[in-house]
Amino acid sequence: MQGKRVLITGGNSGIGLVAACELAAAGAEVILACRDSDKTRQALEVIGAGAEIAPVNLAVDLASLASVRELAATFLARYDRLDVLINNAGIMPAEQEITEDGFEMQMAVNHLSHFLLTHLLLDCLKVSAPARIVNVSSMMHKKGEMDLATFTGFHKYKMQAAYSQSKLANMMFTVELAERLNGSGVTVNALHPGAVATDIVRSFPWLVRKIVGLLFISPEKGAKTTMMLASDPELEGVSGKYYDQCKLAGYSPVADDNLQRDAFWAASTKAVGL
């Protein structure tokens, strides 16, 4: 990763932090896209301890499309190249929340913010080709259904169903974008990191968080697939695929349904104002 520049959302904790540390240690210039917080400042210290190039954070609130636009503008004003974009950040709130833009929080943060950010940085990625986009999805996407009406909220909110749908959105985005980027030198792939113990479960009851910590794999193991898709030279040119814990895997047939994918793309484009 010598000479490579990487932008990663949610790189201040969990698998994002581990991936950021390893990429920085491998010589990459790592730029976080996280809230400006003590946690982020501490993450920068941890990443910087093993980095050849000091990491920085470009502050963003992924629940705000205006903030995402500001992030992209700030990045493009400072940098003329981007080798790897890792759309890593994700949330799973126990209760339904609606963003300032009027969207259900999981769909907004897990999909729409990354959909917008990726599009705003696409030209930069293209001029940096060969470049890579890595979308952190989940095996839960296979249980998801795409109901475009729920972009603005569920009549009856079920945390797991909303999460599965947002992760299905990651997969549908990956497949469609790969087709659109064919021949551009920019690849895009999605992954399931494994059942990882991270603070995505921070809104869960204490006992559930304790059980998750005991049964799930560590962020260090969970970050392996992200690292592979971001850096493995053997994957240069590979695009539109889904990897489950470093192994090529099948994904939901919904992502290969052209009619559903076209409608989903149109709805996403309209939602973020592109």
DSSP character string of 123-141: HHHHHT-SEEEEEE--GGG
Where does the chain have alpha helices with state H?
Answer: 14-25, 38-49, 65-78, 105-107, 113-127, 159-180, 206-215, 219-222, 224-231, 258-272
**Distance of alpha carbon 211 from alpha carbon 209, whole angstroms:** 5
User: Sign (positive/negative) of CA torsion 124, 54, 1, 6?
Assistant: negative
What is the number of structural domains in the chain?
1
Domain, as residue range, for 241? 5-272
- Positions marked catalytic: 163
Sequence-distant (≥ 6) Cβ neighbours of residue 87 within 8 angstroms: 9, 114, 117, 118, 133, 134, 135, 136, 170
pLDDT truncated to tens, each residue of the chain (274 aa)?
Answer: 999 999 999 999 888 898 999 999 999 999 999 999 999 999 999 999 999 999 999 999 999 999 999 999 999 999 999 999 999 999 999 999 999 999 999 999 999 999 999 999 999 999 999 999 999 999 999 999 999 999 999 999 999 999 999 999 999 999 999 999 999 999 999 999 855 444 544 554 544 444 444 444 455 566 789 999 999 999 999 999 999 989 999 999 999 999 999 999 999 999 999 9
**Distance of alpha carbon 204 from alpha carbon 170, whole angstroms:** 23
User: pLDDT at position 218, please?
Assistant: 55
User: pLDDT at position 201, please?
Assistant: 44
Provide the β-strand partners of residue 31. 7, 56
- Does this model's pTM top 0.85? My answer is yes
Instruction: Say which CATH number the domain at 167 has.
Output: 3.40.50.720
User: pLDDT at position 213, please?
Assistant: 46
User: pLDDT at position 200, please?
Assistant: 46
- CA of 183: how far to CAs of 73, 117, 180, in Å? 26, 21, 9
**Distance of alpha carbon 32 from alpha carbon 51, whole angstroms:** 14
C-beta atoms surrounding 160 within 10 Å: 11
